[in-house]
Amino acid sequence: MDDLAAHRSALRQFGSRVELIRDDQWHAATPDTEWDVTDLVRHLVYEQLWAPPLLAGKTIAEVGDAFEGDILGDDPKAAWTSAAAAARAAFAEPGALTRTVHLSFGDVPASEYLWQMVTDLVVHSWDLARAIKADEQMPNDLLYATLELVKATIGDWSGSGLFAPPIPVPGCTDDLTELLALTGRSR
């Protein structure tokens, strides 16, 4: 799956679920026991807000605390839509994926950063769907590409706290179930 197509699809998956959040669901529990729906949406808005400056070459220190505070405002759905559009545009700029991005743990190719974002979006799309009792399914090509990436890089981030420890699912043939298990979630 093409990098930009994967990012666009992952943004769409999360965004479609954000649009389904009812007023009475913002404090519903998510599979990530530390977060409710508001916290989860805030996390993804926060991640998207970082993409434009990082892809423009800024460091974490240069961006500083620009995205601290109430980033959701009075309309969390609009905050998501705006942040997602800005991230998508930043990744789609000519040459963006050939740049180096300065992350908290070091410099990485922008294409690697994009796939980190895709993984976060896909896993948290499921978290949000589960929390608001929405459709949990996602496109097979997106799931397969994300699963293959996670399988190839799990050793790099295992134990980092990004996701819960993997859950064994011997003989699993379902990409979503396997991806969730690798990130410490069960269906």
Residues 131-153 have pLDDT tens digits of 999 999 999 999 999 999 999 98
In-domain check, residue 154 = no
In-domain check, residue 109 = yes
Asked if 73 and 79 count as a contact pair (C-beta separation under 8 A), the reply is yes
What are the structure tokens assigned to 169, written together? 């699912």
Domain that holds residue 56: 3-137
* pLDDT band (50, 70, 90) for residue 161: low
In-domain check, residue 21 = yes
Q: Lowest-pLDDT range, 4-13, 30-39, 77-86?
A: 30-39
In-domain check, residue 169 = no
pLDDT at 187 > cutoff 90:
no
**Which residue from 106, 115, 114, 109 is spatially nearest to 153, judged by alpha carbons?**
115
In-domain check, residue 145 = no
Q: 55 or 105: whose pLDDT is higher?
A: 55
CA 54 to mean position of chain CA atoms: 16
Asked if 69 and 90 count as a contact pair (C-beta separation under 8 A), the reply is no
* pLDDT band (50, 70, 90) for residue 172: confident
In-domain check, residue 55 = yes
Question: Residue 115's domain is classified under what CATH number?
Answer: 1.20.120.450
Mean pLDDT of the chain: 94
Q: What is the DSSP string of 60-91?
A: HHHHTTTT-S-SSTT-HHHHHHHHHHHHHHHH
What is the number of domains present in the chain? 1
Q: 78 or 105: whose pLDDT is higher?
A: 78
Q: What is the pLDDT of residue 162?
A: 66
25-77 per-position pLDDT tens digit: 999 999 988 899 999 999 999 999 999 999 999 999 999 999 999 999 999 99
Angle between helix axes 3-18 and 76-92 (nearest 10 degrees) is 180
In-domain check, residue 40 = yes
Asked if 168 and 109 count as a contact pair (C-beta separation under 8 A), the reply is no
In-domain check, residue 27 = yes
